[in-house]
A and B are shown apart, each in its own frame.
Chain A
């Protein structure tokens, strides 16, 4: 199927950027691009990505294209697919119970609709993996899921354990009704932890600490330190002021989601995180927001002075690490999933656009020729 698409596109337009050499029996795919964004952080240079069985078999400037491999020539930049850290794509009203505040067994991975158009939107924006999170309206909303934006592939069925520290998690008709009560209940759950709480306490699964005010962030940091948890805080606007504390607690941060006209304070918080050495990634919170705002948010941070390398890591490898899947996604490294975006130019420039997106080595989306 993929071969046919490539062959057709080559025949349809003399300007096509993709040229396929037909080799139907081959399982090898090679992408040769003018610029390849490598994980070493160096300037992108001409190179080849070799893909076998949906994984990256080799990548670099000196990789030879083996005989019989399907070759895709790309005149722009090739990079790893982007990773969005916080979203409700295909699962907007899931994971909320009006009677119970603690839902440790709830999994978004069992509740999302992979055919939802949210995923196509994300794919076209160059996003190949998304962390689907429970809405932060519970003390424990269950576990988030790391999924691919094509084919409904679940990479991590239980990516993070979601814990609510914001006022959103409190209802006046449901226990607990106060911040103090909430922290006491969470402490109780981690005292002699069972099930998923036990795994979080043993750092087998990271936590996602949902916050929205400065005090929420402070409580979340203290809680994570008290129970020696690993994970990330969501709620960047306020996390910036506590960047040093987050760093000493060895936590990460999920920043955003971003909108046009975003408050500068939120953007400066990201710079504070960079300065403190806190790893961070970005939220999109689709479908309320458009997935294109992932890159637009990074562009805003760049304008305010964020380093290019930090911004790129936040969109890819740091996000993958926060999602607990740096061994699967987030960079063009040998052995990782072949999630590759072919851009018209610099991926950090909003004037560039994805022209083709590969997920697990398969062409998942392609711009009209």
Chain B
């Protein structure tokens, strides 16, 4: 009987080896075969395969063998999944439209991982697996944006890719209820506010660094004094006793000798907004500033020119072409949402021409593409928005790079996202045709190692 149970158990083991294994966290071992595998923009292999294990890409190549426990899927074209650099998925209207956000407001705190489930499914089906979301769309300071996965029901560690991927501010953004943008004086004040925010951050950083040095100095001095006193402890005791005796003899009260020590240096007053602005000034968090008019973009560029660690991104940039040389020289990206808008009620200076993406790319300005950060359902249409940009002059290969590796780099996530390389997270599309074309036909989508879209679901 005992032997029988043993055999039975062995049989179970064998069965579980042969069937595709789904790990406890939901990730699957996958063997993805493609006629064409786009490893990274501009680099591809023919008739290859990708092995996905534990949520990561375990192997890529032409001579891979399918492990028995891996589920096999295949298609004409395999490439990295798309990233929407400016979306609103999972963010309620109250967080999205919150006018009271400040630099330290974290978008992740307002995210609802269960919200918009049907939109999440649609977005995945379109091949978009990661979105940058940003609260405070109507505020002058929108707070800290987050890079999150679209797939629902992910464990917290997988749901959020980068909890602090941008700090957002805006120039000339109309307040809620205002039909028009701000008047010129308010706009100038907005620009000043943006530039001085960086100054504030830098000064806070300087003050904190100075405090750290002063504190070190002070601690050193105190330590020196202590050793000195320790050394002369016996003599000091004798002197004290002598003085005490003398005082008694003379009938005077004994006065203890006091050592005056330097005052401990005080740190700068803790301020959560300045903490974040300091990290922005230091380049640890990219600085996304919404600016459309050329005068304001120029003011922003000149106003922040001396902060060489700052990582500025111009958002909107309707008239960015007028500043393209400065933008290209300083490698400052422009984040566009090239959604075609009608003429009715649109402000000439804040409506980007459809050819802007192509024109900026040709001028050597780095680009990011997004869907505008206001409509949770729009992230689904990122591939169409990118295709429209292609139709209006952006090179197809460039557009593909922008929505994959380019976006990953901009948000410091290129070690995990944006291309199909061993060790990176498995964010993979299996398509019927070339990415961003009408014939792309998304068949399978893998996100965080999970098969989130299959034909027919």
- Interface positions of A (Cβ within 8 A of B): 92, 117-118, 121, 260-264, 285-290, 292-293, 296, 299-300, 302-303, 344, 346, 348-353
- Compute how far the CA of A290 lies from the CA of B344 in the bound complex, rounded to whole angstroms: 9
Q: Is the beta-carbon distance between B378 and A261 smaller than 8 angstroms?
A: yes
Given contacts A260-B375, A264-B118, A350-B384, 12 further A-B contacts (CB under 8 A): A118-B343, A260-B371, A261-B380, A262-B377, A286-B342, A288-B344, A299-B438, A300-B381, A349-B437, A350-B388, A351-B387, A351-B396
Q: Which residues of B contact A303 (CB under 8 A)?
A: 126, 384
Q: Which residues of B contact A121 (CB under 8 A)?
A: 343
- Compute how far the CA of A344 lies from the CA of B388 in the bound complex, rounded to whole angstroms: 13
Q: Which residues of A contact B345 (CB under 8 A)?
A: 288
- Compute how far the CA of A247 lies from the CA of B384 in the bound complex, rounded to whole angstroms: 31
Distance in Å: Cβ of B11 to nearest Cβ of chain A: 43
Q: Which residues of A contact B344 (CB under 8 A)?
A: 92, 287-288
Task: Say yes or no: is B436 at the interface (Cβ < 8 Å to chain A).
Answer: yes
Q: Which residues of A contact B376 (CB under 8 A)?
A: 261
Which of B340, B377, B391 makes the CB contact (< 8 A) with A263? B377
Complex interface residues of chain B between 334 and 360 (CB less than 8 A to chain A): 339-345, 354
Q: Is the beta-carbon distance between A296 and B340 smaller than 8 angstroms?
A: yes
* Residue among B122, B371, B375, B388 having the largest count of chain A Cβ atoms under 10 Å: B388
Distance in Å: Cβ of A118 to nearest Cβ of chain B: 7
5 tightest A-B CB contacts, nearest first? A261-B378, A290-B340, A350-B387, A349-B438, A261-B377
Q: Is the beta-carbon distance between A261 and B340 smaller than 8 angstroms?
A: no
Q: Which residues of A contact B340 (CB under 8 A)?
A: 260, 289-290, 292-293, 296
Task: Say yes or no: is B320 at the interface (Cβ < 8 Å to chain A).
Answer: no
Q: Contacts A346-B438, A351-B436; is A299 near B387 (CB within 8 Å)?
A: yes
Which of B342, B385, B393, B396 makes the CB contact (< 8 A) with A260? B385
Task: Say yes or no: is B203 at the interface (Cβ < 8 Å to chain A).
Answer: no
Q: Which residues of B contact A300 (CB under 8 A)?
A: 381, 384
Q: Which residues of B contact A286 (CB under 8 A)?
A: 342-343
* Residue among B340, B354, B376, B439 having the largest count of chain A Cβ atoms under 10 Å: B340
Q: Which residues of B contact A348 (CB under 8 A)?
A: 438
- Can you show 5 pairs from A to B with CB atoms below 8 A apart? A260-B340, A260-B384, A261-B378, A292-B354, A351-B391
Q: Which residue of B lies closest to A294 (CB)?
A: B340
Q: Which residue of A lies closest to B375 (CB)?
A: A261
B401-419 vs A, CB cutoff 8 Å, 1 = contact: the mask equals: 0000000000000000000
Task: Say yes or no: is B390 at the interface (Cβ < 8 Å to chain A).
Answer: yes
Q: Which residues of A contact B343 (CB under 8 A)?
A: 117-118, 121, 286-287
Q: Which residues of B contact A344 (CB under 8 A)?
A: 391
Q: Which residue of A lies closest to B440 (CB)?
A: A303
Q: Which residues of B contact A296 (CB under 8 A)?
A: 340, 384, 388
Task: Say yes or no: is B162 at the interface (Cβ < 8 Å to chain A).
Answer: no
Q: Which residue of B lies closest to A299 (CB)?
A: B384
Q: Which residue of A lies closest to B374 (CB)?
A: A261
- Compute how far the CA of A127 lies from the CA of B263 in the bound complex, rounded to whole angstroms: 78
- Compute how far the CA of A90 lies from the CA of B391 in the bound complex, rounded to whole angstroms: 25
Q: Which residue of A lies closest to B394 (CB)?
A: A351
- Compute how far the CA of A263 lies from the CA of B380 in the bound complex, rounded to whole angstroms: 10
Complex interface residues of chain B between 419 and 457 (CB less than 8 A to chain A): 436-439
Task: Say yes or no: is B200 at the interface (Cβ < 8 Å to chain A).
Answer: no
Task: Say yes or no: is B102 at the interface (Cβ < 8 Å to chain A).
Answer: no
Task: Say yes or no: is B304 at the interface (Cβ < 8 Å to chain A).
Answer: no
Task: Say yes or no: is B66 at the interface (Cβ < 8 Å to chain A).
Answer: no
Q: Which residue of B lies closest to A257 (CB)?
A: B342
Distance in Å: Cβ of B85 to nearest Cβ of chain A: 15
* Residue among B354, B371, B379, B393 having the largest count of chain A Cβ atoms under 10 Å: B354
Q: Is the beta-carbon distance between A350 and B342 smaller than 8 angstroms?
A: no
Q: Is the beta-carbon distance between A289 and B378 smaller than 8 angstroms?
A: no
Q: Is the beta-carbon distance between A351 and B390 smaller than 8 angstroms?
A: yes
Q: Which residues of B contact A290 (CB under 8 A)?
A: 340-342
- Compute how far the CA of A192 lies from the CA of B126 in the bound complex, rounded to whole angstroms: 53
Task: Say yes or no: is B392 at the interface (Cβ < 8 Å to chain A).
Answer: yes
Distance in Å: Cβ of A343 to nearest Cβ of chain B: 10
- Compute how far the CA of A285 lies from the CA of B340 in the bound complex, rounded to whole angstroms: 13
Q: Which residues of A contact B342 (CB under 8 A)?
A: 285-290
* Residue among B126, B385, B390, B436 having the largest count of chain A Cβ atoms under 10 Å: B390
- Compute how far the CA of A290 lies from the CA of B439 in the bound complex, rounded to whole angstroms: 24
Q: Which residues of B contact A292 (CB under 8 A)?
A: 340, 354, 388
Distance in Å: Cβ of B27 to nearest Cβ of chain A: 27
Q: Which residues of A contact B391 (CB under 8 A)?
A: 344, 349-353
Distance in Å: Cβ of A5 to nearest Cβ of chain B: 21
Q: Is the beta-carbon distance between B387 and A349 smaller than 8 angstroms?
A: yes
Q: Which residue of A lies closest to B438 (CB)?
A: A349
Q: Which residue of A lies closest to B341 (CB)?
A: A290
Q: Which residues of A contact B354 (CB under 8 A)?
A: 292
Q: Is the beta-carbon distance between A264 and B381 smaller than 8 angstroms?
A: no
- Compute how far the CA of A348 lies from the CA of B385 in the bound complex, rounded to whole angstroms: 14
Q: Which residues of B contact A263 (CB under 8 A)?
A: 377
Q: Which residue of B lies closest to A263 (CB)?
A: B377
- Compute how far the CA of A121 lies from the CA of B344 in the bound complex, rounded to whole angstroms: 13
Distance in Å: Cβ of A114 to nearest Cβ of chain B: 16
Q: Which residues of B contact A351 (CB under 8 A)?
A: 387, 390-391, 396, 436-438
Q: Which residues of A contact B339 (CB under 8 A)?
A: 260
- Compute how far the CA of A348 lies from the CA of B391 in the bound complex, rounded to whole angstroms: 11
- Compute how far the CA of A350 lies from the CA of B387 in the bound complex, rounded to whole angstroms: 5
- Compute how far the CA of A260 lies from the CA of B377 in the bound complex, rounded to whole angstroms: 8
Distance in Å: Cβ of A271 to nearest Cβ of chain B: 14
Q: Which residue of B lies closest to A125 (CB)?
A: B340
Q: Which residue of B lies closest to A344 (CB)?
A: B391
- Compute how far the CA of A351 lies from the CA of B438 in the bound complex, rounded to whole angstroms: 8
* Residue among B126, B342, B344, B372 having the largest count of chain A Cβ atoms under 10 Å: B342
Q: Which residue of A lies closest to B382 (CB)?
A: A260
Q: Which residue of B lies closest to A352 (CB)?
A: B391
Q: Which residues of B contact A92 (CB under 8 A)?
A: 344
- Compute how far the CA of A117 lies from the CA of B437 in the bound complex, rounded to whole angstroms: 29
Q: Contacts A288-B342, A352-B391; is A260 near B381 (CB within 8 Å)?
A: yes
Q: Which residues of A contact B380 (CB under 8 A)?
A: 261
- Compute how far the CA of A4 lies from the CA of B438 in the bound complex, rounded to whole angstroms: 36
Q: Which residue of A lies closest to B388 (CB)?
A: A350
Distance in Å: Cβ of A215 to nearest Cβ of chain B: 24
Q: Which residue of B lies closest to A293 (CB)?
A: B340
- Compute how far the CA of A346 lies from the CA of B375 in the bound complex, rounded to whole angstroms: 29
Q: Which residues of A contact B371 (CB under 8 A)?
A: 260-261
Distance in Å: Cβ of A41 to nearest Cβ of chain B: 17
- Compute how far the CA of A4 lies from the CA of B7 in the bound complex, rounded to whole angstroms: 89
- Compute how far the CA of A115 lies from the CA of B393 in the bound complex, rounded to whole angstroms: 26
- Compute how far the CA of A261 lies from the CA of B371 in the bound complex, rounded to whole angstroms: 9
